A and B are shown apart, each in its own frame.
Chain A
Amino acid sequence: MGQIQISNVFKIFGPRPHSVMEQVRRGVSKDDLLNDTGHTIGVQDVTLTVEPGQCTVVMGLSGSGKSTLIRHINRLIEPTAGEIVVEGQNILELRGRELEDFRRQKLSMVFQRFGLFPHKTVINNVAYGLDIKGGSKAEKRANREKARHWIGQVGLTGYEDQFPSQLSGGMQQRVGLARALATDADTLLMDEAFSALDPLIRREMQDQLIELQENLQKTIMFITHDLDEALRLGDKIAIMKDGAIEQIGTGEEILQQPQTEYVRRFVEDVNRGRVLTAGTVRIECKIVRTDTAPGEALRQLGEDDLRVTYVVDANGRLVGAVTAASLRTGERNNVQSVDSLAEDVPTATEDMVLEEILPMTVGEDIPVAVLGEEGELKGILPKDTIIKALAEEAQLTGPADR
């Protein structure tokens, strides 16, 4: 289902690209090549795997070659050298009808300035990828039904017979998205799809894409110049500069372990609270079983009144937390086990981002507990840990398993 393997792809623009390949492989600089030979490097030795069912984001500033790269995958642009394999098929071997069929079946694309057909109504735009395959009148009617379905999916029901010029930018891009989804292609190429939209609409469209993706599990290659967008959408992010890939990794890897100076400067301004998750920032904590006696728990914990231990049941699931102070009270009153002393604590799941967790800590002395899927305690998030992580001082902590 839709794996894309890009291997050592080069794209050189100019009158005789192949004649300068040797120099480019030797690593001549972009400026030297331009001055000496009049050729520019669009894409330089890019190797990238787009995993099926995932959203791979290619991020870079304008001129970094990202839009050039994505156009190689449906061969709107031909590479100068390299190999591109989609679903086990080397697409650079496709000719004429084969290439058309490949584009019709396997891929669809969403464009920055939408690329809608201004002379067609919304429904005919959405059905375009289907109509183009030809077919009988009955099939054309079925295409209309399918188009109607996808118009509904992107929330444009009622606008079927409008023309693109009658819609707002956000609505036009919904049409673009519906058109791409309607063909049932496994792979979606999105070239700066939301960049032309207002920030609020962009956010809305990102949410919609995330929601659709949960059900559809398409293979998405998404191009953007917006790091926040990349971090929101990408299962994997590739950062490009001057036609080459600087770093590939998950959003958190790129934030926490930038491999080059360029990437580091790039991630400096990112709102880390939106990206770092409880799962990566959490630290280990003291735990006691529910049947432990308060005195025993107290000994494990030490004397400080402010210290806290977390109570878990036999399966490791969180029951609550007890402070040293209440343990001492319990001990004095001869309470049998810590079970009855446990108080509720704020909890977060591993995939929650710090921005969501931060409000929970307000006015709360006990650190937030981080829980796994079954409610098992994975670790905790004290306030200072959260603040350190946000201030880019935290080192990536290893998993704090019990």
Chain B
Amino acid sequence: MDAGSLFSLVLCAAIVGWIAYAAARRHESLTEGYRTHAIGAGAALIVFVAGLAGLWKFLTGLELDTSIIPIDVWVDEAVDWLLLKVGEPLDQLNRWVVHKIGFFERFLHQSIAWPLLTLLFTGIAWHASRNLLVTVGVAFAFLLIWSMALWKPTMQTLSLMSVSILVTVVVGLPLGILMSQSDRARSFMLPILDMMQTMPSFVYLIPVVMLLGLGNFAGVIATMIYAAPPLIRLTDLGIRLVDKEVMEAATSFGASRRQKLFNVQIPLALPNIMAGLNQSIMMALAMVVIASMIGVRGLGQEVLFGLQRQEPGTGFIAGLSIVLLAIVLDRITQSYGRRMETHRTVGH
């Protein structure tokens, strides 16, 4: 047994012992379980001393650049294994998604598309907000983007965004619902969500690119990983915040779990779910520049060009377009979210 594995073994044992000890303490305060307490404490002590001795021995004989727990190797192996197992079907999915995005893009690039699309978004903005200022603002934003000759990259970004958000909703909504229904699922998901949100995006770009290659599909997946957490969290929160008495009412009339979920919980959580979607869209837009580094075309690429060629103007107008796109999508989704709040709260 080498130093590294022995150390990690002792470390694990110490952690387990400590958890047992803590559990025993908690237990004792509740049911007079002194025996459990003593056993737990004893086990913890033995493991702790052994751990300290081991720690001392191995820390003194260790080179600083020796990897004791080779997580990097494990990750490499896992990605290699994945590549071997799911490489082929993933490749097909990749082609399918790229084809879809391409189709969407080609349509948006037609010269007829821009007035149509501007009209469409202006209409949606009016429908959502019933606010003249917001509606005019949306039309103005599209006109400005077009007049800066950034229509094409903007549409590339918009189509990637749409697919990403679609994937985010398809993945995030069920996960959020699952979390709300089971405390176990929730405690399992929370650290994963924390990791998705705090892990620097370059880190998961590496395996994503290895698995999916450069291009739009990799961009979609990377965007989804970054953008899904708010939607998942707010779906869970929204469902959990549904008034207890309303839920009791549904239960008392004999509603099944499914009936409660679809007739009561999800409809009442919609304002929160919309807020989550809004946040996810904003996060997805924040990924545009990073996604351009793995070969996604669009506004992010323009920013990248500006950086590489030292053209601040190119970078600025691309950045401005991203901001405009963000504002348009934000105002529209927020307005829908606000409209949903009517009749979803009861007051006297």
B-binding residues in A (CB < 8 A):
14-16, 19-20, 36-38, 71, 74, 76, 100-105, 107-109, 111-119, 128-129, 132-133, 163-165, 168-169, 172, 179, 183, 189
Verify if B343 is at the interface (C-beta below 8 Å from A).
Answer: yes
B252 near A108 (CB under 8 angstroms)? yes
Complex A-B, nearest 7 residue pairs according to Cβ-Cβ distance, in ascending order: A104-B254, A115-B249, A103-B254, A109-B252, A115-B245, A163-B343, A129-B253
Residue of B nearest to A99 (CB): B254
Verify if B347 is at the interface (C-beta below 8 Å from A).
Answer: yes
A-binding residues in B (CB < 8 A):
29-32, 243, 245-246, 248-256, 259, 263-264, 267-268, 342-348
B347 near A112 (CB under 8 angstroms)? no
A20, A105, A165, A189: the one within 8 Å of B346 (CB):
A165
Return chain A residues, CB-CB under 8 Å to B345: 118, 165
B248 near A113 (CB under 8 angstroms)? no
User: A20, A112, A113 — which one has the most chain B CB atoms within 10 A of its CB?
Assistant: A113
B32 near A37 (CB under 8 angstroms)? yes
Question: CA A177 – CA B342 in complex, angstroms?
Answer: 24
Known A115-B245, A168-B348: A132·B268 in contact at CB below 8 Å: no
Known A37-B31, A111-B245: A119·B267 in contact at CB below 8 Å: yes
Known A113-B245, A114-B346, A118-B346: A38·B251 in contact at CB below 8 Å: no
A116 near B31 (CB under 8 angstroms)? no
B251 near A103 (CB under 8 angstroms)? yes
Residue of B nearest to A106 (CB): B254
Return chain B residues, CB-CB under 8 Å to A163: 343
User: What's the nearest-Cβ distance from chain A to residue B102, in Å?
Assistant: 40
Residue of B nearest to A101 (CB): B254
A119 near B249 (CB under 8 angstroms)? no
Question: CA A133 – CA B255 in complex, angstroms?
Answer: 8
Question: CA A112 – CA B249 in complex, angstroms?
Answer: 11
B30, B252, B343: the one within 8 Å of A119 (CB):
B343
A103 near B32 (CB under 8 angstroms)? no
A109 near B30 (CB under 8 angstroms)? no
B245 near A132 (CB under 8 angstroms)? no
Return chain B residues, CB-CB under 8 Å to A183: 253
Question: CA A179 – CA B31 in complex, angstroms?
Answer: 44
B254 near A117 (CB under 8 angstroms)? no
Known A19-B31, A37-B31, A38-B29: A117·B253 in contact at CB below 8 Å: no
Return chain A residues, CB-CB under 8 Å to B252: 74, 76, 103, 107-109, 189
**8 A–B contacts from the bound complex (CB under 8 Å):** A14-B30, A38-B29, A107-B252, A114-B245, A117-B268, A118-B246, A119-B268, A132-B255
B246 near A117 (CB under 8 angstroms)? yes
A132 near B344 (CB under 8 angstroms)? no
A118 near B343 (CB under 8 angstroms)? yes
A16, A100, A102: the one within 8 Å of B31 (CB):
A16
List 12 additional A-B contacts (Cβ < 8 Å) besides A15-B30, A115-B246, A117-B264. Answer: A37-B30, A74-B252, A102-B254, A103-B254, A108-B253, A109-B252, A114-B245, A116-B346, A118-B268, A118-B345, A129-B253, A165-B342
Question: CA A15 – CA B26 in complex, angstroms?
Answer: 11
Return chain A residues, CB-CB under 8 Å to B254: 100-105, 129, 132-133
Question: CA A163 – CA B267 in complex, angstroms?
Answer: 14
Return chain A residues, CB-CB under 8 Å to B249: 109, 111, 115-117
User: B29, B32, B255, B345 — which one has the most chain A CB atoms within 10 A of its CB?
Assistant: B255
A76 near B251 (CB under 8 angstroms)? yes
Question: CA A109 – CA B245 in complex, angstroms?
Answer: 11
Return chain A residues, CB-CB under 8 Å to B248: 71, 76, 109, 111, 115
Residue of B nearest to A170 (CB): B348
User: A20, A71, A132 — which one has the most chain B CB atoms within 10 A of its CB?
Assistant: A132
User: What's the nearest-Cβ distance from chain B to residue A227, in Å?
Assistant: 24
B259, B343, B346: the one within 8 Å of A172 (CB):
B346
A118 near B344 (CB under 8 angstroms)? yes
Return chain B residues, CB-CB under 8 Å to A101: 254
Question: CA A102 – CA B246 in complex, angstroms?
Answer: 19
User: What's the nearest-Cβ distance from chain A to residue B69, in Å?
Assistant: 35
Return chain B residues, CB-CB under 8 Å to A111: 245, 248-249
Question: CA A164 – CA B246 in complex, angstroms?
Answer: 12
User: What's the nearest-Cβ distance from chain A to residue B193, in Å?
Assistant: 28
Return chain A residues, CB-CB under 8 Å to B267: 119
User: What's the nearest-Cβ distance from chain A to residue B66, in Å?
Assistant: 45
Return chain A residues, CB-CB under 8 Å to B259: 132
User: What's the nearest-Cβ distance from chain B to residue A161, in Å?
Assistant: 12
User: B31, B32, B248, B249 — which one has the most chain A CB atoms within 10 A of its CB?
Assistant: B249
A119 near B253 (CB under 8 angstroms)? no
Question: CA A16 – CA B27 in complex, angstroms?
Answer: 10
Residue of B nearest to A104 (CB): B254
Known A37-B30, A37-B31, A111-B249: A119·B344 in contact at CB below 8 Å: yes
Return chain A residues, CB-CB under 8 Å to B343: 118-119, 163-165
Residue of B nearest to A124 (CB): B263
Question: CA A116 – CA B29 in complex, angstroms?
Answer: 41
Question: CA A219 – CA B100 in complex, angstroms?
Answer: 62
User: What's the nearest-Cβ distance from chain A to residue B57, in Å?
Assistant: 41
Known A19-B31, A115-B245: A128·B253 in contact at CB below 8 Å: yes
Question: CA A180 – CA B256 in complex, angstroms?
Answer: 18
A116 near B246 (CB under 8 angstroms)? yes
Return chain B residues, CB-CB under 8 Å to A172: 346, 348
User: B29, B246, B254, B256 — which one has the most chain A CB atoms within 10 A of its CB?
Assistant: B254
B253 near A104 (CB under 8 angstroms)? yes
Return chain B residues, CB-CB under 8 Å to A15: 30
Return chain B residues, CB-CB under 8 Å to A102: 254
User: B245, B251, B253, B348 — which one has the most chain A CB atoms within 10 A of its CB?
Assistant: B253
Residue of B nearest to A197 (CB): B348
Return chain B residues, CB-CB under 8 Å to A14: 30
Return chain B residues, CB-CB under 8 Å to A116: 246, 249, 346
Question: CA A217 – CA B255 in complex, angstroms?
Answer: 26
User: What's the nearest-Cβ distance from chain A to residue B328, in Å?
Assistant: 28
A112 near B251 (CB under 8 angstroms)? no
User: What's the nearest-Cβ distance from chain B to residue A245, in Å?
Assistant: 23
Question: CA A133 – CA B248 in complex, angstroms?
Answer: 17
Question: CA A14 – CA B251 in complex, angstroms?
Answer: 23
Return chain A residues, CB-CB under 8 Å to B264: 117
Question: CA A107 – CA B250 in complex, angstroms?
Answer: 13
